[in-house]
Amino acid sequence: MAKNNLSNQIRRLRFENSQMTQQQLADKVGVTRQTIIATEAGKYAPSLPLAFKIAHAFGVSIEAVFQYENADS
């Protein structure tokens, strides 16, 4: 899948949250570990509900997890 303009802080947030594993995060948000890996690597842009679930899992706002880089700006 092509890279998108969406960057994320999932890796950093996982380590700040008691070194949460990818599997633990996947179980919390109800997806497979492969989806977390792909999202973390920026290979997959999650849906809005999943993005909110990930943010809620870390107890932060969605903007703290995902950042969109506008190519025009």
Partner 1 sequence: MNRVLKYAWYQLIVVIVATLFAAVTILIAIKYWPGKEFSAVIPFCLFVFVHFYRVFFPLKAGEIAFDERDEQIKKRAIMISFNIFWYAFILFCIIPILTIGNGKIHVMYLGGALIVCGISFRIIWSIAVIVQYGRGGKDGEE
Site for partner 1, rule CB under 8 A: 1, 26-27, 30-35, 37-38, 41, 43-44, 46-47, 50
Q: How far is the CB of 14 from partner 1 (least distance, A)?
A: 14
Q: How far is the CB of 39 from partner 1 (least distance, A)?
A: 8
Of the two residues 2 and 71, which places its CB atom closer to partner 1 in the complex? 2
DSSP string, the chain: ----SEEE-HHHHHHHTTT--HHHHHHHHTS-HHHHHHHHTTS----HHHHHHHHHHHTS-HHHHEEE--S--
> What's the rounded Cα separation, in Å, for the pair 71 and 37?
25
Q: How far is the CB of 21 from partner 1 (least distance, A)?
A: 13
Of the two residues 3 and 73, which places its CB atom closer to partner 1 in the complex? 3
